[in-house]
Structure 1
């Protein structure tokens, strides 16, 4: 029976760090016992918002010690753990399924389903931060030269929902998802964001629908080119206008509704990587050209592309913006990392401009001399449709996909992407629970509540 820790009486947890001997089964038991002891202490504490300073310090000491133990365990055993979970890499397991399996097979290594369900009921500031523990595991897998590429392959495979919808899309040329509309027009498939209530900001639902949409575009043999564009929004300031994207939905982040696996890491391993590297349709083939289906992508930017919206532009083959639009990556202002923008922006703009955008919050407008570094064309609003159609014709040639594949191999080798993503996983998860981010999103939420 666990005894509750009384206010003001909580010392820091000083349990000796576990010693691992290098045998997987034995070390797994050692880790499980150590994590269970930590969880027993946590169970004796009030929920996070009700803890006093001493109780909170005790909780943080438990999490710190357990996370250090997990890192040590994974340093020794990450490949063996991954092989155990995937039958020696014979089975491809998507990120969420991999974490679920790890929680059952190796107790204490990652949060359990019940622990994540409890987290899901809290706003971000009241969570324990167990997604940080998921990030530690994912980063270790991605750092591995054997497990990492296999996980990337798993996330490049068609999603089950896209396979269910594929026959209908091929027959009708239309798929109407909750947040996204996909329409085949000639040789192009137009993917329209329809998160109208929040200026097409990215949230869990939009990310899931975008992966389905990208899969459908890449799987349909009648489509040669994909087009991304924001739909009309209902915000009073922009009502009736198209908006490309307002970036991450900060209200959802405040409310604890932006997930690590489905959003923060999942979007990078999922639909964005599929647009850049292609859909993995034949894992057994030797050549990347035979393993994947790739197609060129066009971005049509109306009004603005902020944060995640601008990140998307960095993997597209043609970007067309309407006059008066602007692009920005307000990472320093928001306190989080702009996805893979840090990896990709500097190769388009150069290091100095990239630092100005990411660290200084510089906006790039369509009349900025540097706009040509991230946009191919700037046209009046009434000419956007014609400009998109012209770009579709130019990129629909049979050799385009092959050449963009070779460009991608040069610009962003898979190992560079993998090692960056391993570090990103840990940093982004930690930033999502940092005090400055929590304070900023709370202030924005309070202002939105005051406005009604």
Structure 2
């Protein structure tokens, strides 16, 4: 049960509800966005802007009240998908309803109204709050419900397999293979769910001491029989409207990647010990690490790259923000090279001297297996975890990361609905580029 809202809180919410309802009536009466005249576009944007102004003003005053009401005074830990779902029921007009999102789910990106931008406005306010923000960040570090359901079976068998990943415990090593062989391990909502589930299972297994992530062999015609690490975001899925802000773009950063970087929060943990359980991770880069694949490298403790592989962050070509790479990359490469990669689209080959800022070892493809096993063995030491934890505290303070993610929540929402992104992803999709 949510707590009753203060009277002024309910009064301030009413104009937003009215504006959101009026905007929805206007949008319903118009053709789909790709078929609108310039005048119809202006009418739609004017109605949405009015509701967004009121939404922002309401949250500027009442974010903590809203969050406490939704979480029973921060007793309940809600993940971002659960939080926006409950906010839609408790505060009409604050975020899109389940019905609005379901209606848009079957549309191409060019024909969506951009309701996810309203989720971005809400989540930016929550993450910016010094009270609500840390609570939400901790909620995203808890194991997923899916992982908790699968945990007993994984502890017994040591194997978890889904369409996108395969996890196997072998001699204390969590061997995680990215195995979407038909699409070069391109990322989408399903892959984000599978990968976070696998990471949770590995971290919850007391017999796993080190993690190893590598791409599997591909069946994609251009790379058949070859290992590939990751092609980044699935641009065809983005163009088709199948990449969601909450289910992929935010979940990936606040959940899976942050768990890889700093561990997960174990439910029910208390006392003087840290509530987080973590372990070191090794990555093996075969072929390429593009976009989201490059972002993954920034949270690993040791990266081994094949001599014929490369790393790139083609954010400028795709038109979106490359996750938390803008936050992390300069720490590895320095600001000049980070700008060349993010703003200029520079492709960094493993054999270039500058690549050693992102990878620890470069070996011939035939030597990858042996090099990865050596790296795993080096990270088994008893003091590795303590030093890893202290490095994270020094390099990536939680408050700094939270501030970045607050702005990312809205900025990325705006980007995925930008006209340039819709045009570019449509062109990539027509050219059959996976990510």
Same fold, TM-score > 0.5, yes or no:
yes
User: For 1:225 and 1:216, how far apart are their aligned partners in 2?
Assistant: 13
1:411 paired to 2:379? no
Report the CA distance between 1:406 and its aligned residue: 0.8
Q: How does 1:204-243 map to 2 (within 5 A)?
A: 204-243=189-228
* Number of aligned residues: 428
Partner of 1:330: 314
Structural mapping, 1:4-403, within 5 Å: 23-282=8-267, 285=270, 290-403=274-387
Cα deviation code 1:315-341 (max 9, x no counterpart): 100000011110010111111111000
**For residues 39 and 313 of structure 1, what CA distance do their matches in structure 2 show?**
42
Kept in 2: contact 1:300–1:320 (CA 8 A):
yes
State whether residues 15 and 54 of structure 2, in contact with CA within 8 Å, keep that contact through their aligned partners in structure 1: no
Q: Deviations over 1:296-328 (max 9, x none)?
A: 011100010000000000010000001111001
Q: Which of 304-313 and 360-369 deviates more?
A: 360-369
Match of 1:16? none
Q: CA deviation at 1:286?
A: 6.2
SS of the residue 2:274 aligns to: helix
SS in 2 for 1:438: helix
* Cα deviation, residue 60, structure 1: 0.7
Bigger radius of gyration, 1 or 2? 1
Q: Deviations over 1:196-240 (max 9, x none)?
A: 111111111111000000001100000001111111111222110
- CA distance in structure 2 between the partners assigned to 1:367 and 1:447 by the alignment: 29
Deviation larger for 33-42 or 64-73: 33-42
Residue by residue, what CA displacement relative to the aligned partner does 1:167-208 show, whole Å, maximum 9, x if unpaired? Answer: 111111111112110011112111111111111111111110
Match of 1:10 in 2: none
How far apart, CA to CA, are the structure 2 residues paired with 1:196 and 1:146?
A: 43
In the superposition, the TM-score normalised over structure 1's length comes to: 0.92
Give the CA deviation at 1:391. 1.1
Taking structure 2 as the reference length, what is the TM-score of the superposition? 0.96
Task: Determine the C-alpha separation between the residues in 2 that align with 1:308 and 1:446.
Answer: 21
C-alpha displacement of 1:30: 2.5
How far apart in 2 are the matches of 1:282 and 1:181? 25
Once residues 428 and 16 of structure 2 are traced to their aligned partners in structure 1, the CA distance between those partners, rounded to angstroms, is 40
Asked which structure has the greater RCO (Cα within 8 Å, sep 6+), the reply is 2
Q: CA deviation at 1:285?
A: 3.1
Tell me, in whole angstroms, the C-alpha distance in 1 between the residues paired with 2:411 and 2:371: 39
Structure 1: which 5+ residue stretches go unaligned? Answer: 1-20
Structure 2, unmatched stretches of 5+, are 1-5
User: What displacement does 1:47 show?
Assistant: 2.6
Secondary structure of 2:231's counterpart equals coil
Q: Give the CA deviation at 1:448.
A: 3.0
Provide the secondary structure at the position in 1 that maps to 2:213.
Answer: strand
Counterpart-to-counterpart distance in 2, 1:33 and 1:62 = 11
